[in-house]
Amino acid sequence: MPVNLPTNLIRSFVAIVDTGSMLNASEQVFVTQSALSLQVKRLEELVQQSLFVRDGRRLTLTPAGDVLLDYARRVLSLHDEAVAAVSNHEFSGPVRIGMVQDFADTLLTGLLGTFASLHPDAQIFARVAGTAELQTLLERRQLDIIVGFAGSQDANAVKSAAMKWYGSVELTRKAVVPLAVIEQPCRFREAAIRTLENADIPYRIAVETPNLSTLKAAVQAGLAVSCRTHLFLHDLPVLEDTRLPELPNISCVVETAEGLDPASYRLAELTRNIIGDL
C-alpha cells in the first residue's frame, strides 16, 4: 500500500524551511517545539529518509528534504485549494492577529465580540507585542493582521493623533525630569527622549518596563511622567501648560498579509473601522 503523509506533518515541514528554525515554525503552526520535533521524526520515518541536517542552530535540508519540499508545497497548495472550493471559500483556519498592548487593553474585547457574531466558528490566535516584533512576524507569515504605531505619514495609517505627556505637574518642575518608558524599541520612548534633549531639559529614566500596565501604575503613583496618546489612554492625567516640549503626532497602523481569506479580511476591516472611529 502507498504511504500516506498527513498534511499536518507536511505543513510543519514547510514551516520549518520557510521560517528557518523550530522556534519560529512552532509559532506558525501552533504546536510546541517538542511536538514539532516529533512531527519531523514521524515524517522522516514515513519517507525513510533524513530531511534535515543540524549545523549549529541552523537546520539545512538534506538532498531528500530538498526533493520533498517541492512536492510538499504543491500538496499543500492543492489541499488548501480543495478546502476553499468545497467550503465556498469560507473560513478554514485560524485568524492570526497581533497588536500593541494599548489596543489589546482597551478595544480587543469589543473587536472580537463583533467578529465572533459574524464568524461564530472562527478560531483566533492573538499575539500582543511591540510594533517592530509584530511586523517581523507579519513578514514571516506568522500573523495575518497587525495593529501597531508608526509615524504620522505612514502609508498604513488608519488614525493619527498627538502624543501627550501624562503624570504629575510637580514632577515637571524638578531639575531632572523622571521618565517612565517602555523597553526599546518603542516609538513613544524615542519621542519623549528626543523632544526633551532637543529642548535641553535634563531627564532620567526612573522606570523602564516591557509592560504598559506597569508604566501606567508608575505614572499613577507619581514616580515619573510618560508620553502616550489619548486614542488608547483615558485614565491618566494629561499634562498641560508645563515646561515639557510639544510632542509629535503618531499614527495607528493596520497592516495585513497578502491573500487573506474572507474571515481574516473581515477582521482587518473591522479593526480599521473601530480605530478610525476613535
Nearest to 102 by CA among 33, 148, 35, 40: 148
pLDDT in tens, 113-128: 888 777 777 778 888 8
Q: Is 175 left (phi over 0), alpha (psi -120 to 50) or beta?
A: alpha
**Beta-sheet pairing, 203-209 with 177-182:** parallel
Residue range 7-86 forms a domain whose CATH class is mainly alpha
CATH 3.40.190.290 describes domain 93-278: yes
250-265 per-residue burial string, b: 16 or more CB within 10 A, e: under 16? bbbbbbbbeebbebbe
Cis peptide leading into residue 248 (ω within 30°):
no
**How do the domains of the chain map onto residue ranges?**
7-86, 93-278
SS3 state at 277: coil
Residue carrying the nine cell digits 498604513: 156
Sign of CA dihedral 48, 51, 52, 53: positive
Global confidence as pTM: 0.64
Does the structure show a pLDDT above 90 at 206? yes
pLDDT in tens, 30-57: 677 888 888 899 999 999 999 998 876 6
Q: In the 3-class helix/strand/coil scheme, how is 184-220 assigned residue by residue? A: CCCHHHHHHHHHHHHCCCCEEEEEEECCHHHHHHHHH
